[in-house]
Amino acid sequence: MGTQSIRFILGPTLWMSANHSGRVNRHWAVTRRKTADLRRLAVMQARAQHLHPTRGRVRVTAWIQYPTRGRADPNNAAPTTKALIDGLTDAGIWPDDDHTHVIGPDHRRADGTCPRGLHIITLTITEEAKEGERS
């Protein structure tokens, strides 16, 4: 059983929030393009950051870092993290992102801040102990 992390630094052209769903410039084609770009980014970063394919089921925690110290709702990052997790599936990190392979992601606010206009997402991937194994 092991833990791996992968980090993504996202500018406003890639950031998607659940709060943006009905706002101006949130045309379905914009969402589709951003989703495709995030999936490609996840594939490239999985290779660049030497992420290893997992064995068995994993638990994913998404740590979201914001440009301000103000209040935040990390669950609003779900459209972004969903696309990144789909990209990790494309990269072969796990066979599928269904419930039999991936638990989560559990969205959390990361400590500290990042530069203005950016968001940093760190996905922590922890392999679950198989039945009969000790953790």
Element (H, E) at 122: strand 119-127
Structure confidence at residue 36 (pLDDT): 97
The residues of the chain scoring below 50 in pLDDT are: 24, 135
3-state secondary structure at position 45: helix
pTM > 0.85? yes
Structure confidence at residue 113 (pLDDT): 94
Could you identify the residue written with the tokens 């068995």?
56
Structure confidence at residue 21 (pLDDT): 55
Q: What is the rounded (10 degree) CA torsion for 128, 4, 56, 39?
A: 130
Return the axis-axis angle of helices 28-48 and 78-90, rounded to nearest 10°: 50
For residue range 66-93, what is the model confidence (pLDDT) as tens digits? 999 999 999 999 999 999 999 999 999 9
Distance CA 48, CA 124 (A): 16
Structure confidence at residue 130 (pLDDT): 74
Closest CA to 71 of 19, 14, 12, 11: 19
Tell me whether residue 40 is exposed, middle or buried, using C-beta atoms within 10 angstroms of its C-beta: 0 to 12, 13 to 18, 19 or more. middle
